[in-house]
Amino acid sequence: MGKLFLEVVTPERVLASQEVDMVIAPGAEGEFGILPGHINFLSGIIPGELRYDYGNKREFMSVTYGFAEVSEDRVSILVDSAEKPIDIDLERAQSALDRAKERLAKDRDSKDVDFLRAEAALKRAITRIKVAKKSQ
């Protein structure tokens, strides 16, 4: 079986640029997997866990909003933010989770809380914690 070339890029840096065997990403329509020879397509990316295998290793990343392009055994993931488990501050992620839960517990008629932002923050925090714990 062939290989895929994976690139994970944020506005600040390139987090991955390597040959891999498989990629699993959190798409706007649900999680999707990519193997060599996959049909070309575009997909939105939502906050979640990105996984990729190469050799006998599996790597994880927490990603936020962006998009993925699959073309000719090349997978480009362009997102607002991405973190490898080693780069995630678990205490900070837990604090963000607690703040988001607190905001979401308020009355839905409250003008003080942007509930869509709070829900997005909750999803990001949950994913960051899940990915960070994979390195422990």
Please spell the DSSP secondary structure of 56-72, one letter per residue: TEEEEEEE-SEEEEEET
pLDDT of residue 115: 76
Query: In terms of domains, do 96 and 60 share one?
Result: no
Mean of pLDDT over the chain: 91
pLDDT of residue 103: 83
Query: In terms of domains, do 12 and 56 share one?
Result: yes
Query: Which domain, by its residues, includes 101?
Result: 87-133
CATH number at residue 110: 1.20.5.440
Please tell me the number of Cα atoms within 13 Å of 47 on its side-chain side. 15
Backbone angles phi, psi at 107, to 5 degrees: -60, 130
pLDDT of residue 121: 86
Query: In terms of domains, do 23 and 74 share one?
Result: yes
User: In terms of pTM, does the model score above 0.95?
Assistant: no
Number of H helices, E strands in the chain: 2, 10
Which residues of the chain fall below pLDDT 50?
none
Structural domains in the chain (count) = 2
Give which of 54, 87, 89, 82 is closest to 68, Cα–Cα: 82
Query: In terms of domains, do 61 and 99 share one?
Result: no
pLDDT of residue 2: 87
Query: In terms of domains, do 110 and 70 share one?
Result: no
Query: In terms of domains, do 75 and 109 share one?
Result: no
CATH number at residue 21: 2.60.15.10
Helices (H), 53-114: 90-104
